[in-house]
Amino acid sequence: MYRRDFLKTLALGSVALSPLGHAWANPGARTNELVIGKRTLDVNGKVASVFRLTDKAGNAGLVLNAPSDFDVLLRNESDEETLIHWHGLTPPWDLDGVPGNPAALLPPKERRSYKFPLSRGGTHWMHAHTLQEQSLLAAPLIIRTADDLARDEQEVTVLLHDFSFKSPEELLSDLQSGGGHAMPSGHGDMSSMMNMHGGHQMGSAETSAAPHMMMGMDLNDIEYDAYLANDRTLDDPEIVKVERGGRIRLRIINGATATAFTIDTGELEGELIAVDGMHVVPVRGRRFPLSMGQRADIRVALPPADGAYPILALREGAVERTGVILATASARVQKLETTAAAKGPVLDLSLEQSLQSLTPLARRAVDRRFALMLGGDMATYRWSIDTDSPIEVSSGQRIRISMHNMSMMAHPMHLHGHHFQVTEINGKNISGAMRDTVMLPPMARVSIEFDADNSGRWPLHCHHLYHMATGMMTFVDYGQQG
């Protein structure tokens, strides 16, 4: 299958930093420019050609303000046709950035304008909705509010990624053939399943499923050459200068294509204040799970003395890690190994089960209910959602989608064009976080609710790039009311 066919496959679902040095944009400012291009990156002493996604000054990503308009001119200066999806935003359907749904790919050397309202702030990101995402065609998309600017805190944005010197087409071919990168890194065990996340232990519903997961859970299906935080490994990490006694807001984005992490704040106690750009009742801890496509805003307070404080991303069920280091001006920064002595925790739903939104959905009856089964296996490397047609709803309805993961891999499920509330986990009703991406471990059941207030044909898919590419994608479809 050629690259063009891969692009169409991901669009239609037919198969089945450097620090950000932006000024806060003014409401009346001229259109922001976003440039797609190519660059070279040194990884482990080898040079690779990857994408870049920058403003016209060369800064990674965009920092905008709300309320205002998302007013962006996208220029494709690369030699490949592509398109960018605004992950976490809720634009009109034709501006969502998914090729063929309905927008055409942007040819090389051409440009396209985007303009729609930004009503709220948040930590978001933007990326290709094609295999090009694996080649680092992704960047932060930070929307600040006046309240954000008024706080006496330093913002640090961290974009995580997994990197391979192989092309994404080669990686997918390896997975489908069962060779090379297929399943070298592991199966869960009960001790790792019982790891703590931010001080929360696995709930009883998850514990009851653990023996089944223990026997055959597949954690990582690709062994990458490196794991990056703002384009750098721990061999040469980004060192962020901070002030003694300062307060830091970490905006952490898991932009990896096939790798989940646990964020480890080390000796600094963290306070989780937002997930997927939406505020939650703060949760204190030192370890926070982050699946593909998800974001976490974590506030930390620094001691009054000089010091260096690693903020690490621990690869799920494996020893590899990446991250950045917060360091005061006079601090001595010690070298960190890219591997740890112990494996990173296996992600579960214990933290998710405890989260509460500060801006929940208004209470109302559910109008339509749908049940989806997530399936697939490593042997054939085909992943699916058991529906032959889009989820058809009507504008103005409250929708509930219940998802049951019957496969032995976790699936971070992302809905475009909406924010949903997590309302049930493994049979337990909750008033959970507002999100756009929720992770389902093997055998887990999660229900989400949202209002159909943004008409279109919206993708609902696994944010593991290769699961989506091989069939784990459907659509929520509806038109304008009346």
What single string gives the DSSP state of each residue in 351-378?
Answer: HHHH--BSSPPPP----EEEEEEEEEET
Structure tokens of 337? 């190994």
Q: How far from the centroid of its chain's Cα atoms is residue 33's Cα?
A: 23
Q: What pLDDT is stored for residue 10 in this prediction?
A: 53
From first to last of the 482 residues of the chain, give the pLDDT tens digit: 334 444 444 544 433 333 333 333 344 456 899 999 999 999 999 999 999 999 989 999 999 999 999 999 999 999 999 999 999 999 999 999 999 999 999 999 999 999 999 999 999 999 999 999 999 999 999 999 999 999 999 999 999 999 999 999 999 999 999 743 443 333 333 333 333 333 333 333 333 334 334 446 789 999 999 999 999 999 999 999 999 999 999 999 999 999 999 999 999 999 999 999 999 999 999 999 999 999 999 999 999 999 999 999 999 999 999 999 999 999 999 999 999 999 999 999 999 999 999 999 999 999 999 999 999 988 899 999 997 678 999 999 999 999 999 999 999 999 999 999 999 999 999 999 999 999 999 999 999 999 999 999 999 999 999 999 999 999 999 996 54
Q: Which of 142, 98, 94 is nearest to 456 (CA)?
A: 94
Coil, helix or strand at residue 9 = helix
Instruction: Give strand pairing partners of 35.
Output: 54, 75
What is the C-alpha separation between 395 and 453, in angstroms, rounded? Answer: 6
For residue 204, the SS3 value is helix
Locate tokens 């709300």: which residue? 66
* Spatial distance between the Cα atoms of 303 and 331, rounded to a whole number of angstroms: 12
Rounded Cα gap, residues 311 and 139, in angstroms:
19
| Predicted TM-score (pTM) of this structure | 0.89
CA distances from 45 to 40, 323, 453 (A): 12, 18, 49
Cα distances from 249 to residues 104, 125, 207, 259, 443, in angstroms, run 37, 17, 33, 23, 34
- Which residue ranges form the domains of the chain, and what is each CATH number? 30-142 (2.60.40.420), 224-345 (2.60.40.420), 354-475 (2.60.40.420)
Q: For the chain, how are helix, strand and coil distributed in percent, rounded to 5?
A: 10, 45, 45
What distance in Å separates the CA atoms of residue 121 and residue 278, rounded to the nearest whole number?
8
The Cβ-side half-sphere exposure at 454, using a 13 Å CA radius, reads 21
Q: What is the phi/psi pair of residue 196, to 5°?
A: -85, 145
